[in-house]
Every structure is written in C-alpha cells, then in structure tokens.
A and B are shown apart, each in its own frame.
Chain A
Amino acid sequence: MNVSYRWLNEYIEVSDLTAREIAEQMTRGGIEIDVVESLNKGVTGVVVGYVVSKEKHPDADKLNVCQVDVGTGENLQIVCGARNVDAGQKVPVAVVGAKLPGDFKIKRAKLRGVESQGMICSAKELGLNDKLLPKDQQEGILVLPAETPIGQSIGITLGIDDEVLELDLTPNRSDCLSMLGVAYEIAALTGREVKLPNTSVMHSADQASDHISVSIEATELCSHYSARYIRGVKVAPSPQWLQNRLIAAGVRPINNVVDVTNYVMLEYGQPLHAFDAAKVAGGRIVVRQAKPGETLTTLDDQERKLEPQMLVIADAEKAIALAGVMGGANSEVTADTTDILLESARFDGSTVRKTSRQLGLRSESSARFEKEVDPGRVIAALNRAASLLEQCAEGHVTEGIVEAITKNIEPSVVQVALNKINQYLGTSLSKLEVEAIFLRLGFEGSLDENGVFTITVPTRRGEITRDVDLIEEVARLYGYDNIPTTSIEGSTTPGALTKPQAIRRDLRKRLTDSGLNEVISYSFTGPERTKLFPALTNGAVPVRLAMPMSEDRSVLRTSLLPQLLEMAVYNRNRKNENIAVFELGSVFHTEEEVLTHLPQEKHRFALLLTGNAVQAQWNRKAEAYNFYHAKGVVETIVNTLGISGSVRFEAAQPEGFHPGRTAAVLLHTEAGWTTIGYVGQLHPALQQQSDLPDTYVAELDLAPLYEYADFAIEYKTLPRYPAMERDIAVVVDTAVQAGRLLETASETAGELLESVRIFDVYAGEKLGAGKKSVALALVYRHAERTLTDEEVTELHSAVVTKIEQTFGAELRK
C-alpha cells in the first residue's frame, strides 16, 4: 500500500508532522514503512503554459516554434520537437532557470538559429512514472486539462509536491490496505480524530430496483452484495486531482468511472466494480459458482476457462465478472456507456484467493478480498463512489440500494482482564492507561468491578478475536520499549547437549583440529547422482520434490558422497587442488514411491580427501593422499568414540569404489558384526568422469556410533614390570591380509600380549612374485611380575607356528 502524505491529510490532520515522522511512528507501532519517497524527482521552475500559436521552424522540419503564455504578461518563444504540440494546449513549461530531474538546468538556447526561452516537457521529463500514465500521455509532451490555470506551478497541478509512504504490511494488518485504515492507525498512535469522506448523494426520483435486481445463489461464498444504478454518466478522463492521487498510489488512471471505483477502493479498502448496465442482461445480478465448461473473457482480453468452484457474477444469461478478481469484457464500461451498475460486495476470501492463484490473475481487488474486507464498509464505499460519480462523471444516482445479504456479520466482543494484561506483558498498567489505549484505538468497551474489559472490536479490525489480540494492541500502543526487561522466575533448569549432539561436537573438533575443513552441502540433488553409490543408500527410493526448481536439485540426497564429489569438482575448477573435507548431515531414505510417511532421516558422516596431504616444503617432500589417510580418519573417529576394539575393516567391492582399495567398516553390535559404512578410493572411472585425481572417501552411519560410543575413560595403573619385545618377519602370499595376521597374533598370544604393530611390509624380486614380507613387533608384558625369557619364547613360538600354519607363512631369517 502506497500512501500519499497530502491525500492522507483528507482523513486525518497530520500537517504538523512530516512524512518521515509519520513513517517512524508507524514503524515503531508495527506497520513497517519501507521507504518514504518524494514524488517530485527534482522539478523546480516548471509552470503551466498556454500554447498561443505554433509555427514550423524555418530550418528544421521536425521542430515547431511556439509562442507560450506562462502568465508573466509576455509570451515566451519556445522551440519544441514534440509531434503532438499544438496551439490551444495547456502544457508544462520549464522556463529559463528551471530544473528537471537529473539536475538538468534549462538555459536560454538557440535551436537551428531560432531562440528558445524554455522547454515544453513530456511526462517522462518531469520524472513521472510513465507506466502509470494513460497511453496517449506516454509519448510527446504532456497535455494538461484545458481548465488548468496558466502560470500554476506544475508541482501543484500534478500533485507531485508530495511524499509517498510505502507500507510493508504483515498479513494481519489488511485493515491498512486503505487510506481510512491508515488514518485510524495514525489516530491510535497519535491520539487524533479520523475525518470520514462525504458519502451523500442527490438521488434522482427514479428507483434503482425498477432497473436492477440482485440475488446470491452461492450463499456461503458471498455474505453481502449491494448495487446502485447510476444513469447518464459521461465517460471521460478523470479530473486531474483524482488522476494525481491514483498515480501517487501506483494505480493507472483509465476513465472517470473506473477511476472512481479504484479511488474508493484505496479510500475504504473495499473493491468496487462498475458494469455497463446496458450489457447486464435483464438488469439481473446473480452471484453463483461457475458452470462446468463456462468461459469468460476478462478485461485483459484473456479468455478464461472457469472451474466450478470459482465464484462469478452473472446476469440473466451469462457470467459477466469473476467475483472479486476481474471484470468481464462483455460488461465493460466504455466511452459509450451511459448507465452503470455499481457493485460493492463481500466475497469469501479463500475463494477469491484460490481463483486468482489458479488463473494467475492478481489484482488490487483480489489482494483485498483475499484478506476479507470490512463488512462495515460495503455500503459506505458504495455510497462514496456514487457520490463521486455524481461529482466527476455527471451521473444521476437513482433512489435506493439493491442488495442481498446472506449473513450478518456482527462486531466481535472480546474480554480481557487488566490482571491478565499486566501478567502477560510483565507491566503494571493502570485501568486508566489501558482505557486510554482502547479509546485511542476507537474500540468501545466497558470495565467491570472485577477488572475485566469487555471490548466491542470494530469490524475493520476483524482479526482481533481473542484476549491476546487485545493484549497485543495494548502492548504496541503502550510501546514495546516501555515493557520492562525481567528474568524468568521459578527454578532454574540444567542445560546440556544430548549424547549425539556432544558426539557431533567432538568429531567436528577432533577432525578440524587435525586439518580437515567442515562443509555443508545442499540436501537437494539430481536423481542420477543418487545412483552413484548404491551400497550407501540401502535401496532407498529418492524422495522427489513436487515442484523442483531444477532437475539437478529435484530429489533429496540419499547419501552424502555425491554432494562432496560435486563440491570437490567445484573446488578443483577453481584451482583448489588439495581438499580434505568432511560433512555431518542427514540423508533421506524411504521405500515408498509416493510418501505416506516421513522418510527416515539418517545422520551420516562423510569424508573426501584428494590432492596432497603434505605440501612440498623446503625440508620435506609432497605427500599425496592415499587410502590409509582416509582409513586413518575413520580409525581416529572410532578411537575418539572409544570403540576401536569393536570395529574392523574388511576388503569390499561396493559400486562406485575402487574394487581393490575399499574396505567395509564393521561395528560389533548386539546383532553381530554390522556394516556401518565404507572407506576407500573412488572408482577410477568415476574419478575420470568427474575429472578428479585419486580421491579417497568414506561415509558412515552415525546412529550406531551414537549408540555404542563409550566416553567412560577406564584408568589402568601404569605397568610396574618390564615388557619384552620380539619381532618377526614372515613371507606370505600377497593376498594374505595383514589385518588377519594381527588378529591371529592377538588371539594366539592372549592376555600377555600388550601390543602388536606392523612395522614393515615389503615386496620385491628377492621374495619372488606373489609374495610379500610382513614384519611385526610384539610386546609381551605381565601386570604382576617380570616375564621369564623362557615363557616369552614359548608364547612367541606358538604365535609364529600359528601364523605359519594358518597363512602358509615362512619365517624370514
């Protein structure tokens, strides 16, 4: 809603306040004013002139030499290039010394040898928004009405010495979609009176009901339909003042009849419609739902296919308007119109909303009906428009209002106790203070001996239905700034993170402290991308958005890795070649093709490493990421969570991963060993496709980690007896997994084995093809005593024998 400051003064006396002061007060009161804009874009010294004569320029075909009277006694000679300039016109004249928008100064000039003492201006040159001007005024010079006084400042003529407040209204304040509503709001904020417009008409003797009738068939969708019959209108451009106000409000003037309906809509917030009465068959208005297959060509010349739930205004034969949305071309007011049927009605908001959405037709009218118009203004607006049509279109208003009412809407009565107000807000307002606020709002009411206010809420504020709504009114008029700041009373509560929240915090800290960056990727992805790593999606059907913005953001991610891949490519394209990142986020799994239940949201951890782990520096060589970096990150996680003993890695060949460089991560749970994710190299084909070098990734389900994570630290007393270390190197087939050697060593040696570590793996010609040597360091220790050489030797031999037997290993001497 755009509110002209000058126009506003018609409804409330605010000339002692500047537009900016009003804006500030309204904003602090809850109606945000985005901008206060001056309509004058920098015009000074432009006055109304009368073109006395026009002659062709002697040396230029396209120029005219005009003599213009600007009321100074002497005519000015002005050279003008506009095609539409003519003798007898009233026009805006920028005299020498005038200024136009863009700091353009008018000087005495010679055009092709002829002196010009100023400039005749177009609307655009005066800084007017030409989109809001009638078509014939968009080109050439602006021609003003004949009655405009010569010499008048153009600022007054065009009403541009004015400022406009642009209201950013919240959905509950549709009452301020009208000048009157804004006036009531300012009245409440400043304690002033609202002045209502003149709605009186000079009825002619003729009875409206002799000409027109109204009936509502769709009783649920229209609570009130009223009409007046106005004869003998002369359709013409509106008076300048009316046009100026419409333009200030951002509405394009069309003709006096349409302009009056728009003007009253802006005044009252009640949209009106004028039908050419001659085109309303039988003079009958029927408010009904559209018939199957019915069509209507609307005022914008579009043929609309109507659907049965849409509400239409029909005459005896056909639909003639889409109720509250747009009129029909078949009943349009044109230059030939003489009699009009003026409509003021109250249509169901959600029906108007649905219709306008469905047809993609949003108008000033539908915007107001959608939010339910004030039932108290239907008749007032009708009368106001009739009054203006008398004034501006020479209409004769026939006697009486023809109307149908299906539901009487009474003002709501709401109770609120003074105690409750103060308890709710934390204030200590007195009875008198609260009473004064209701008075300023124009809410009538009474206070009983128990301190309960009974308030009759005017219908213009229909959204106020409960005690808290009244409390809000009191609070905002008392001023939110005046409400004290207090602390919550009552017992304190302990704050804490849950275990999963704490785990994510710990992991985030551990991993970033180790050099990884955390990323957050989009939850939406392309359907193709969800197919990259089937092992990570458990056969989930990707959840598809009903109306995606693009195909590559049309489904919910079923795993994190495709998103990290996208991120890696993005970074590589920007020459960020060394990437070490992880993400903690949800993936969405369902088996349903069409969701009837919410999908499962699984928390996941994902990792991506590519490029160099260590950059070449003067004292060390570059080191590229490899599988063991990625595995090391996973091991660090399970160590941090205290479950390294319950996790093992097994070679695996899931799709999308390098078949020889990938491990399943298994966690020992109540159900036995369970795969919780994978760590490995990206499949080389996928690497190539994404133009990535060797890239190592991992993705893990977090839920089992949340469940099994063990933060309890069990202290073990420091050893008092010495350890004995024995090394062995065994030659085995390349296929033998080192992890199995470690497990065998541990199992065979039992409790006395404190630790076992692989300190070398070697393959070479000396060993022969298909063989490798693995060197293990075993540390034996007894907690209670010093081990003897004999018992260690015996135990160690057992380990060696077991490894030899199990893996066909040969001891390397």
Chain B
Amino acid sequence: MKERLEALRTEALQELQGVANPQQLNDLRVKYLGKKGALTEILRGMGSLSAEERPIIGQVGNDVRASIESVINEKQETFLREETETRLREETIDVTLPGNELPTGAVHPLNKVVQEIEDIFVGLGYTVAEGPEVETDYYNFEALNLPKNHPARDMQDSFYITDEILMRTQTSPVQVRTMKAMNGKFPVKIICPGKVYRRDDDDATHSFQFNQIEGLVVGPNIRMSDLKGTLLQFVQLMFGKQAQIRLRPSFFPFTEPSAEVDVTCSQCGGQGCRMCKQTGWLEILGCGMVHPRVLEMGGYDPNEVTGFAFGMGVERIALLKYGIDDIRHFYTNDQRFLNQFGRM
C-alpha cells in the first residue's frame, strides 16, 4: 500500500507540473484529493491493515496529501496572481486626460484688496466703520472743514442731487459720523472702506465711481510720529518687509499738518522703473493730523485729544498690485478679467 501511495504522489506531482489553467488545477484536485479521488480510494483499504501498520500508512497517506496540496495551493496562488495582474492591466486608463475640477470663482479684485487691508487693520486693533454713499453736504464737506465757497471744493467735481445732498466724494464723512456716534469717548480706531463718486470723464486711469479706504485714530497724545509708525507697519504688511515710506507735505482741508505718502516701488524695489517713473517711489496715500476744527465738529476738545487720519484709493492699489492696465475693467466685469483673481 505504501508503494501505491508513493506511486500516486509521483503521478500526481508529475501531472500537476503540466497544469495550464485554474480549471485543470481544480480537476486534478478532485481527481486526487476529492471525496471520490484516488487518494481516498487507496486509503479506503486501510481497514484491512494491522493495528501496527495502520498509523504508519496513515502517516504516509497524510504526507502524500500534504505534498499534493502544497503544490496545488502554490499553483493556485500563481494563477490568482496572474489573473489579478491581467485584470489590472486591462483597467489601465489614460491619466493624462483632464480631470473634473471643482468650480472656482473669484472675489472681485477691489474687494480682495479691501479685505486684505481690513484684515491688516483689524489685526492692529481697528474696527471697520461704514456710512451712506448718498451724503449731506454737511458731512461730506462742511464738517470736514470745507465750508461752502471753499476754493478746494468744486461743484463741478461732485454729483449733487439737491443743494444739500450729494454722492459722497470721499469716505471721510464716515470719520465725522463715527466721532459723533462715539459721543466724546475715545480711543477711536477705525477704517472706513467704501464707494465714492466724482465727476470725471472715464478713461484708463479715471472712473467716476471708485473706492477709498480711510483710517482714523483719535485719542489722548496721538502724535504725527504715531501716524508714521502706523503707516510704515501697514505698508510693510501690505507690500512686504522691504517697503519704506516717504512723507511729503501736502494739503487737505481736514488735516493739519497734511502729507502725501510714497511707498517704495513694488515693481523695482526702489531702483527706478517705468511704473514709478524712475523715482523709486509710488504715491499711494494721503494723511495728516486731524484738523482741530474737524475734531470739534466730531464732538471732541482738540486740547484734550488729537488724532490722525489717512486715506487711499483702492483702485490705485489694485492697479499697482496686479499690474492692471485699465481702471474700467473693475466695473465692466469681463469674466476673462475676473477669472484671473480666483487664486488665494
């Protein structure tokens, strides 16, 4: 019997060598190891063996089964692996075809700039104040130390609705409104972004509607040096650490002293280029110490508090920041224009 078993082993292993597919393998498993298979067939004869022989033959039988099974399993794994490989090969796709992107839109570039500036000043402890776009002559001019018939005030430059009501020409009226609302309390630390309107023929650099951001700080002992410090901090956060400022005396009716502020040209870093007309500086801000008369009209005693104010044109900063060639793009909203501002 032992011989028969060994012969079976030899035969089976030999036959397994030539197996070509999983079907054949299965057939052989049934043929040799199945319930009615050859091995079972031989081992059925165990009953006629002696008690001494039985464990020995049993051992041999198990041995033969194990060796056949091991080869079958090995074969089976090989087939499985090949099958998987084939399937994966068939599943290959063209990864260079374009994907399905998530839709992206863009915040309007003017609001992008406004938000950036707001964030800087909110970080410095300012709140954001707002006021009406249709204003009274009083808040837009008179309370800002521009009495009627002041030479700096030109009817032709403003969109009046009635003699006393007009489209605000600057965001500065929000300063006075805020001061009045504070009812003499300080400190005041605000920035006021918003639309303003001036009669101007539209061209590449002029628009009758545009945006300003204005800042106001009122408190005891506010100094012109604080204004310089604040503006330097702002431009370095906005335009980078290398940015410097330069103040030139100027005139605004609502500040005294007043200054125009130049910032290191962002294009050339101050070397001089076309954008800064070879000066190395870009004019972006107007500022000054709040005129005592404006403080008075805002309900403060100029002997007790002082303040500074500054203002800038949002369009100008956006034009410079993004190198935009025509201010009208901001208001015609060409999708090809807006789509370019979809990045963080």
Contact = CB atoms under 8 A, between A and B. Distances in A.
Interface of A: 27-30, 32, 170-174, 349-350, 353-354, 357, 370-371, 423-427, 466, 468-469, 471-472, 475-476, 480-481, 483-490, 492-498, 501, 505, 508-509, 511-524, 543-549, 553, 556, 567, 570-571, 574, 576, 578-581, 586, 588, 594-596, 598-599, 601, 617-620
Contact of B257 (A472, A495, A524): A472
Given A495-B122, A543-B134, A547-B160, A513 B334 contact: no
A353 B149 contact: yes
Contacts of B224: 424-426, 475, 483
B250 interface: yes
Contact of B98 (A29, A475, A618): A618
Interface of B: 97-98, 100, 102-108, 110-111, 115, 118, 121-128, 130, 132-136, 149-152, 155, 159-162, 165, 167, 187, 189, 195, 197, 199, 201, 208-209, 217, 219-226, 228-230, 232, 246-251, 253, 256-259, 289, 291-292, 306, 330-336, 338-339, 342
A519 B108 contact: yes
B160 A546 contact: yes
B134 A488 contact: no
B105 A517 contact: yes
Contact of B333 (A28, A371, A570): A570
A495 B125 contact: yes
Contacts of B161: 543-546, 595
A757 B199 CA distance: 55
A742 B257 CA distance: 67
Contacts of A497: 118, 122, 127-128
Contact of A425 (B149, B208, B225): B225
B150 to A, nearest CB: 8
16 contacts: A468-B256, A468-B291, A471-B256, A476-B249, A490-B219, A495-B122, A495-B126, A495-B189, A497-B127, A511-B105, A512-B104, A512-B106, A513-B104, A518-B338, A545-B161, A549-B201
B103 A514 contact: yes
Per DSSP, are chain B's interface residues mostly helix, strand or loop, or mixed? mixed
A105 B127 CA distance: 66
Given A480-B247, A496-B127, 18 more contacts: A170-B250, A171-B150, A174-B151, A349-B151, A424-B289, A471-B257, A475-B249, A485-B225, A485-B228, A485-B229, A498-B128, A517-B338, A546-B161, A549-B199, A570-B333, A576-B336, A596-B162, A598-B135
A469 B291 CA distance: 9
Contacts of A596: 162
A594 B111 CA distance: 33
Contacts of B250: 30, 32, 170
Given A170-B250, A481-B246, A523-B195, A505 B115 contact: yes
B270 to A, nearest CB: 15
Nearest to B219: A490
Nearest to A515: B103
Contact of A519 (B135, B251, B333): B333
Contacts of A174: 151
A565 to B, nearest CB: 12
Contact of B226 (A349, A486, A514, A618): A486
Contacts of B110: 520
A598 B197 CA distance: 16
Contacts of A501: 128, 130
B147 to A, nearest CB: 10
B104 A598 contact: no
A88 B256 CA distance: 62
B248 A27 contact: yes
A495 B256 contact: no
Contact of A595 (B165, B221, B226, B333): B165
Among A425, A468, A492, find the residue whose CB has the most chain B CB atoms closer than 10 A.
A468
A695 to B, nearest CB: 14
A524 B209 contact: yes
A146 B54 CA distance: 153
A598 B136 contact: yes
